[in-house]
Amino acid sequence: MDLIQTVIWALVALGVLVSFHEFGHFLVARLCGVKVLRFSVGFGRRLISRYDRHGTEFTISAIPLGGYVKMLDEREGPVASNELDQAFNRKSVWARMAIAAAGPAANFLLAIVFFWAVFLGGTAGPVPVVESVKQGSIAASAGLEPGQEIVAVDGEATPTWQALNWRLANRLGDSGTIEFSVRYPNSNLEYHMVADIDRWLAGKEVPDPLGEIGLQLWTPPASMNLYRVVEGSAAASAGLQSGDKIIATDNQEFSSWQSWTDYVRARAGVSMAVAVERSGETLVLPVTPAEVKLENGKRVGQIGVQPVSESWPEERIRVYHYGLAGAFVKGLQETWDKTAFTVNSLKKLLFGQLSTKNLSGPITIAKVAGTSAEAGWQSFLSLLALLSISLGVLNLLPIPVLDGGHLLYYGIEAIKGSPVSERVQVVGLQVGMALVLCIMGLALYNDILRL
């Protein structure tokens, strides 16, 4: 069932983004007087098809990994004399540029709308307060201490965990310095601390910015009581149950859930004697942690339990409410920030500052879409907004076969006064197609490795 739900949510995500992208091309083409022959969501064999009064065929095709808008064009076949004025190739270069740019523009607009909806519903996030600093880490060299609240990174505000993660992620692969602005409890004074970085996490597969910088942020202490035991896990096989209280393991007592978790993670495949309290009785159960490979390649022990957590105190949660206009402004800002982040990340991939293993394909998108949908509508809309921005940015790359490649050709035509030669366009199309297929193949390969 989980697999089916994941596939469904992935199809919903791709369907919405592709449809809106192609609708941008379609709408501007119609406004420019171009006859649209077909509007297709997906490629390959047409599954559902209907025509409107303008003669445009709207279809849903079998391969849901894209879409296209087919316009009347003399380069693709004969055009009746009474329809020549509706042919795409007969339109001015500015009209053709507007049509090509309309798809990515629609994706950016869609991201603004989704973020707007998210912020209208209000947002909340934990305050980034330092709980511990790893010795010898970047955070330690900057002088960060437990109890400090990180209020900004490089002058950019970090009011929540999510904001802090984004600011750190923006520095992946960079060299130079990273500046933290912090304040102590019950104080309004800010202190600025600087640490040196040199190609920070460049080439790292699936980097964890917060963990790699050496920070552990404050969370409510988890009790030693079990909230959930995962079905089919090592814990379930050993007989652990929800409501059990961990008393000791291998005759050792643990002061916190984190310290006990660290003990378990270090014992993959090693049997442990776990003492639990259940209904006033003490039971000792043999549990052997399963070996699990994390995304960073590290192998750890896991038994499949979740603790009962204390609730977050109000002062450690920031809640934001926006009006109609405020949410729209925030949506614009968020779209701009995430677009800049995406462009910056592509630049770092190109120059080797980020590993190509960070490229993700349809399998990863499907998994994340399913997880986001389970987390709630705000999480799912935020994901759609991010994917929409990525689709818009990628389509603006100056690669023939993408919208950016067409814009490049039209830009050259506008400057020189005549179209780029057919021979150059054909060669560019072949090179562009090969490049896009290679990128897609690499992304799919990364997806399979992650499985």
The Cα 103–Cα 28 span in angstroms is: 9
Count, residues in the chain: 451
User: Could you write out the three-class secondary structure of 376-430?
Assistant: CHHHHHHHHHHHHHHHHHHHCCCCCCCHHHHHHHHHHHHHHCCCCCHHHHHHHHH
The Cα 283–Cα 247 span in angstroms is: 10
The Cα 88–Cα 101 span in angstroms is: 14
Q: What is the DSSP letter of 314?
A: G
The Cα 215–Cα 141 span in angstroms is: 12
The Cα 318–Cα 163 span in angstroms is: 12
Q: Which long-range contacts (CB under 8 A, 24 or more apart) does 32-36 make?
A: 32/91, 32/95, 32/98, 32/99, 33/85, 33/86, 33/91, 34/71, 34/72, 34/86, 34/87, 34/88, 34/91, 34/95, 34/99, 35/71, 35/72, 35/83, 35/86, 35/87, 36/69, 36/70, 36/71, 36/72
The Cα 353–Cα 174 span in angstroms is: 7
Q: Which of 22, 149, 212, 334 is catalytic?
A: 22
Q: Answer yes or no: 131 catalytic.
A: no
The Cα 179–Cα 258 span in angstroms is: 29
Task: Give catalytic residue positions.
Answer: 22
